[in-house]
Structure 1
Amino acid sequence: MATSMIVAGLGLAVVGFGTRYVLRTMPTLGKKMAEAVSNMPKLDGKALTNSKYYKGGFEPKMTKREAALVLNVTPNASQQRVRAAYKKMMLMNHPDRGGSPYISSKLSEAKDLLDK
């Protein structure tokens, strides 16, 4: 009985000191959170227009320009460079590795178009 009373007392002490610690750190934590939120970049139209990614979706019929954009090569790139870019992109986007079947089909379509 005495040991259970000691354990209960120690438990209450731990809860009390823990609560005291949390209550003392809350004001500084709140300030740090407010500072972090104010330092976050804004998602306005200007930030999105300076993005390095291509704006827009796929065209209904793939053009040579779009195929070059998809594979990240020039439109008149050599067959060897096109195949190397295709292989690199397919390793990252293959459906068996969690990639999208649609993206992998677009990559194949782009390679076929530029290989000609």
Structure 2
Amino acid sequence: MVSTMVVVGLTIAAAGFAGHYALQAMKHVEPQLKQVLQSLPKSAFRGGFEPKITKWEAAFIVGVSPTAKKGKTGDAPRQIMLLNHPDKGGSPYIVAKINEAKDLLKRSS
């Protein structure tokens, strides 16, 4: 019983020292991290879709390779559409993007 309490006490102390060390290390790393984040381009943090769909984005939405031929894209848009259909709880916006991607891939292939 006593040895268990000693082990628990030592474990808590070790965790405290480790936390203290980590906080001290973060104080030294924080300015460097801020500098790196500021040097990154702002577009690296932009989410969502491109304003005008690209072939790469269309292929990514549909789930095929950007270099895939028309025959390779085949049934992929239909399967994605079925999974994201608004009647099944999907988003109408996502369905519109899938249709846009499908049309672009048909035109460019």
TM-score (norm. length: structure 1): 0.49
Could you list the runs of 5+ residues in structure 2 that have no partner in the other structure?
1-45
1:95 maps onto 2:79 in alignment: no
- Work out the number of aligned pairs and report it: 62
Q: Which residue of 2 aligns with 1:63?
A: 54
Instruction: Tell me the amino acid that sits aligned with residue 80 of structure 2.
Output: M
Q: Percent of aligned positions with the same letter in both sequences? A: 55
Q: Which runs of 4+ in 1 moved over 6 A?
A: none
Counterpart CA distance in 2 for 1:60 and 1:109 is 12
Q: CA deviation at 1:110?
A: 0.3
Counterpart CA distance in 1 for 2:71 and 2:88 is 24
1:83 maps onto 2:81 in alignment: no
TM-score (norm. length: structure 2): 0.52
Instruction: Tell me the amino acid that sits aligned with residue 90 of structure 1.
Output: M
Q: Which residue of 2 aligns with 1:72?
A: 63
Could you list the runs of 5+ residues in structure 1 that have no partner in the other structure?
1-54
Q: CA deviation at 1:98?
A: 1.3
Counterpart CA distance in 2 for 1:97 and 1:111 is 20
Higher normalized helix content (fraction of residues): 2
1:106 maps onto 2:97 in alignment: yes
Counterpart CA distance in 1 for 2:61 and 2:92 is 15
